[in-house]
Amino acid sequence: MNPIAIIAGFLLLASAGVACAQDTPAPASPPTENDGTDPTSPAKFAKVSFEHLDLALPDGLPGDNSNSLIFEYQQPFGHNAIKLKLPIVSVDALGNNDYALGDASVKLTHVLTVTKTHGIILNGEIVFDTASRPELGTGKTVIKPGITTAFFLKGGHIFAPAFVQSLSIAGDDNRADINSSTVDFYFVPKLANPKLYMTLDPAVTHDWKNDKTFLVTALTLGYKLGPMLGGRGQIFVKPSIGIGSNSPTGWGVSTGFQLLSF
Look at residue 243 and tell me whether its pLDDT is greater than 80.
yes
158-194 pLDDT, tens digit per residue, is 999 999 999 999 999 999 999 999 999 999 999 999 9
Residue 4 above 50 pLDDT? no
pTM across the whole model: 0.85
- Domain positions in the chain are 3-260
pLDDT band at 154 (very low <50, low <70, confident <90, very high): very high
- The predicted pLDDT at position 23 comes to 43
Options 3.40.50.720, 2.40.160.40, 2.40.100.10, 3.30.70.120; CATH of 3-260: 2.40.160.40
**What is the pLDDT averaged over residues 191-201?**
97
DSSP code per residue over the chain: --HHHHHHHHHHHHHHHHHHS--PBPPSS-SS---S--TTSPPPEEEEEEEEEEE-PPTT----EEEEEEEEEEEEETTEEEEEEEEEEEETTSS----EE---EEEEEEEEEEBSSEEEEEEEEEE----SSGGGS-SEEEEEEEEEEEEE-GGG-EEEEEEEEEEEEEE-TTSPP-EEEEEEEEEE---SSTTEEEEEEEEEEEETTTTEEEEEEEEEEEEEEEEETTEEEEEEEEEEEEESTT-SEEEEEEEEEEEE--
Could you read off the pLDDT of 96-130 as tens digits, one per residue? 889 999 999 999 999 999 999 999 999 999 999 99
More confident residue, 16 or 99: 99
pLDDT recorded at residue 93: 76
Provide the mean pLDDT of the chain.
89
